[in-house]
Structure 1
Amino acid sequence: MSITPITGPILFLDEITETSCEIAALFIAPEGVTVPDIYGGDTAIKAAPLAHFAKAVVWRARFGLPLGSRSGYDWNGTRYPVSCEYSDAPRIGYVSCNGEEIGDLLREGSERNAMWARLREDHRARPFVLLLHGGDQVYADEVTDGHALTERWPEEVPEDPSEPELAGLRDHLKEAFFERYSTLYAAPEFAWIAARVPSLMQWDDHDICDGWGSLPATKTHSAIGQTLFSAARESFLIFQQAAADGDLPRRFSDPLGQHLGWRVETGGLRIIAPDLRSERSRRAIMGQGGWAMMEEEAARKMRGHTFLMSSVPLLGPRLSVLEALMVLTPSMQKYEDDLRDQWQSRAHRAEWQRMLRLARSMVLEDGHRLTVLSGEIHLATRGRIDFAAGRSLQQLVASGIAHRAPPRAWANLLGALAWLGEAPLEGHPIRIAPPPGQARRYVAQRNYLRLEGREKTWSASWEFEESGPTEPLAL
């Protein structure tokens, strides 16, 4: 058996066909080291280089496993079981916010990855078929450190940098993103489950930089801002999709990647993940491509259950009060971008209503249910809007898997704002409620979410770091 320090395999779901789960396995190997073949049965699947870095190469192997089975693959002397039983009581995990803004790579591993260890044991008890990652898979805020052009990003953005300077910045950012992804993916708690459960990932701002898209256009549209976005996007495709431009899996809505929204469907299950970052600006959450994708999905006839991933919560309290306070209070203005990131921001109200109307049209379709999955806020909660004929839209928020919980005072403030009420669609107020068994609307504990299907119905339960699992919530 090889003892060469190769990171991987990290599994990603490319698509689900009528007969198979198509999977991409990602590896990170030192320069000059060849990744051993994967064996699916007696067939050898060779990995090929996907991206090159200063001292390492990222490799990818693509293979299929039979849909409706518990099978697996062999690699480097180890058997890795994988469940593809989507029609027989499938379990799906949902996580978000895998890190922190400052010093994340310096944290002690067992503390940082405690909830990943718990998720690993959860899988051992009863296998998951899929892991959904709802945003902020890495916290890249520090990738701009150590280079003269970005040392004080975004407060200071040098004007008119030369092409050689920008080329140097691109190289710096490429290696800085590599360091973060390779470190996180080598963590034993994450690596164990990632080799046995395929992932699907949706990005959010920290996968680029804090507040990307909600920062002023003079910063994001600058040569430095676009260089940062380009490096983050390339890294996102490599490390979160096992893909590259011109080689996107067929689940992506736009093969050219102008936006990076995707969907998968099998039987009575559909998962939709619009891209809320690629086309974002201070005045828009999605652009033409993202909205075209959502209009198409809303019009698609579907029976069963749809999970709509929204990296920032779609249902939330009235934030205009906080926004007004921040504008009037100089010491709080630095947090304005955090609120501008949300659907509930005054700047995005028309888009928010548009998305909720699309969600309502899906909820009212006969034989179909819709649940929104969100993260981002480092708290757990749930929300609901009731529509006609006893139909409702539910939202589940699970955040974060590694980010430590904020002060309970912040959770209490959001709970108080929720008490004020909000109804972006007239006559249909949003109701924010505690997860089952919890006393407060917003729970300040690290957490992840389980989604469990049985006999064409789904339920959800949270796993909290301190208080443990909740009772199942019918969806």
Structure 2
Amino acid sequence: MATSRGEAAGAPQTLSPAGTGPILFALGGDGQDDRLRALVVCPDDAPPPALAAENRPVEAVSLLTAFGRTVHAYNFTLPSGTVGTYTVDGDTFRVTSPATAPMRIAYVSCNGQEAHDLDRPLTERDAVWQLLADEQHRDPFTLLLQGGDQLYADDVLHCHPEVERWAALAKTERGIVPLTEEIGEALRRFYFERYLITYSRPAFASLAAHVPSIMMWDDHDIIDGWGSHPPEMLDSPIGRAIFAAAREMFLVFQLATRPDTMPAIVSDKTGSNLGIVVRYPGLSIIAPDLRSERRLERVMGENGWAMLDAAFDATPHGDRIFVMSSVPALGPRLSWAEFIADALPRTNEYEDDLRDQWQSRTHRVEWRRFLAKLASWPESGHGALTVLSGEIHLATRGEMRLKAGGILHQLVASGIAHPAPNKAYPVVLGLLARFGESPLKGRKIRIRALPDYPTTYASERNYLVVARNDRGWTAEWELEMRGRTPPLAI
């Protein structure tokens, strides 16, 4: 099966009639074997393709059959510390183990835009994806971390006339629109088909067949600002159906599991929080779910916090931890911006966006708890920790001074496909960032420019590369216009 099932570069983005995949997912490794899962989507009247890992046949398992297609999963292992191969219907794919030295990890976020995402020619939309795919061919990556907004599903609000009516009402009045089976299926179809379009684009498809992904969702994988809206909207019949459809397809297409089961990498087996942990010797990747339990007054519920605590408790001492926080954990003070949004006319439309951030005054107690958890790992001498984040459609970095000395780094890469915002946005954020922030006593937070970049926030599309070699870990950003930044030791 070919890796590219997408449309021609200049054509409208539509659902391919052929298959999609393979899309490779990382499940962790023990130093002997790396555990992997490949997804392939076929017409439901076609047999699953033949997959073999190192010439060993692998059985296909059906995850979901819907809308004329079946999603197949293949679980297999490849030897750690080397370059392994697997084949799909005779096509061979090379996979570089995370146990190799040096190790290279790519991080991306914000794969789309809020409206008319499918109208953009792929040569423009996926220009930075193509840079990443070209780099993979020159110098292979071991992991592809996707930190949120993989989908940009906001067009789901146009998938049915009654959903459009629901979206046009005031948020507090949306409970009056009833849910029907037809609406529910329209929602499910939208998310299902949007994933297929997303995963079939040529640059992504070529990457995803060779580099295993670890993914965590954010609001646009559901709808813009999900969780930071009034309960009358979130708990309305259609609101609940939107979340249920988005969650079902997130489980299938981003966690690569049946929607009625929890994969081993999900720590909360109740299913109310879908935070995950993926481990390799000396490396733990922790991705808390900041959407499933989010409400106006909270980011995570009890299950989310229990997942995070358990993930840290189970991490071997000495591990390098990468925490994927879909919204930045280190950021400028937002209380003044929230005050303005509350006080001035025509600015309260931004209140949901501000409420989405850890730094919102509403989440300040919870934010301190999150920062204390992050700081506890290096301050206890257990190992190094770095936060990887996106969401803001800019590239930047943050530093938090630790009590025991040293720095906790946050690296922000956003977005891989979202257009760069207007020039006022990074300027305003840069002004707020000048004041610094100290939510935890004795641990000053500062937002810093990328190496050799003239402003605090880089308003260019971008991706991040973190690498390990015999001298330690470094970070570099690839910027669409300016190119590669000098390496930053982390």
Aligned match of 1:94 in 107, 113, 116?
A: 107
One of 144, 149, 152 as aligned partner of 1:136? 149
In the alignment, is residue 264 of structure 1 matched against residue 278 of structure 2? yes
User: Does residue 203 of structure 1 match 2:207?
Assistant: no
Q: Deviations over 1:327-346 (max 9, x none)?
A: 11221111110000000001
1:106 equivalent in structure 2? 119
> 1:92 corresponds to which letter in structure 2?
I
Residues 133-160 of structure 1 show CA distances to partners (whole Å, capped at 9, x for unaligned) of: 0000000111121323310444425435
1:183 equivalent in alignment to 2:197: yes
> Alpha carbons of 1:102 and 1:209: their partners in 2 closer, same or farther (altered >3 Å)?
same
CA distance in 2 between counterparts of 1:158 and 1:168 reads 18
Q: Which runs of 5+ in 2 are unaligned?
A: 6-16
Query: Please, what TM-score do these two structures have when normalized by structure 1?
Result: 0.96
- The answer to whether residue 254 in structure 2 is matched with residue 254 in structure 1 is no
Paired residue for 2:175, among 145, 156, 159? 159
Identity, in percent, stands at 44
Distance in 2, matches of 1:335 and 1:442, equals: 20
Superposition deviation, residue 237 in structure 1: 0.6
1:292 aligned partner: 306
Give me the whole-angstrom Cα distance separating, in 1, the residues matched to 2:85 and 2:36. 11
Question: What is the rounded CA distance, in whole Å, between the counterparts of 1:246 and 1:347 in structure 2?
Answer: 34
- What RMSD, in angstroms, separates the aligned Cα atoms of the two structures? 1.7
Match of 2:438, SS state, is coil
Aligned residue in 2 for 1:354: 369
Query: Which residue of the partner structure matches residue 452 of structure 1?
Result: 467
Deviates more, 1:25-34 or 1:269-278: 25-34
SS at match of 1:189: helix
CA distance in structure 1 between the partners assigned to 2:398 and 2:413 by the alignment = 12
Residue among 121, 132, 156 paired with 1:119: 132
Q: Tell me whether 1:437 sits opposite 2:439 in the alignment.
A: no
1:319 aligns with 2:334: yes
Question: How far apart are the structure 2 equivalents of 1:242 and 1:373?
Answer: 22
Change (3 A) 1:153 1:428: farther
Partner-residue secondary structure (3-state), 1:272 = strand
Q: CA deviation at 1:185?
A: 0.8
Name the residue aligned to 2:208.
194
Are residues 1:422 and 2:437 paired? Answer: yes
- CA shift at 1:421, angstroms? 2.0
Take 1:230 and 1:17, find their aligned partners in 2: how far apart are those partners?
Answer: 34
Q: Work out the CA distance in 1 between the residues paired with 2:187 and 2:236.
A: 16
3-state DSSP class of the match of 2:337?
helix
- Structure 1 runs not aligned, ≥5 long: none
How far does residue 437 in structure 1 lie from its aligned partner after superposition?
1.2
Shift of 1:409: 1.5
SS in 1 for 2:246: helix
* AA matched with 1:218: E
- 2:379 maps to amino acid: L
Describe the superposition over 1:272-293 as per-residue Cα deviations: whole angstroms up to 9, x where unpaired: 1011001110001001111112
Higher mean C-alpha deviation, range 452-461 or range 354-363: 452-461
Q: Which residue of 2 aligns with 1:339?
A: 354
Task: Tell me if the contact between 2:31 and 2:99 (Cα under 8 Å) persists in the aligned partners.
Answer: no
Q: Name the SS for the 2:211 alignment partner.
A: coil
Give the 3-state SS of the residue equivalent to 1:440 in structure 2: coil
Shift of 1:249: 2.6
Q: In structure 1, how many angstroms separate the alpha carbons of the residues matched to 2:332 and 2:454?
A: 18
Deviations 1:161-198 (A, max 9, x none): 55xx4321110011111221111111111100100000
Deviation for aligned residue 1:229: 0.4
**TM superposition shift of 1:456:** 7.1
Q: What TM-score results when the alignment is normalised by the length of structure 2?
A: 0.93
Out of 371, 379, 395, which is 2:410 matched to? Answer: 395
How many angstroms apart in 2 are the aligned matches of 1:298 and 1:60?
Answer: 29
Closer/same/farther in 2, CA of residues 219 and 42 from structure 1, 3 Å limit: same
The answer to whether 1:302 aligns with 2:317 is: yes
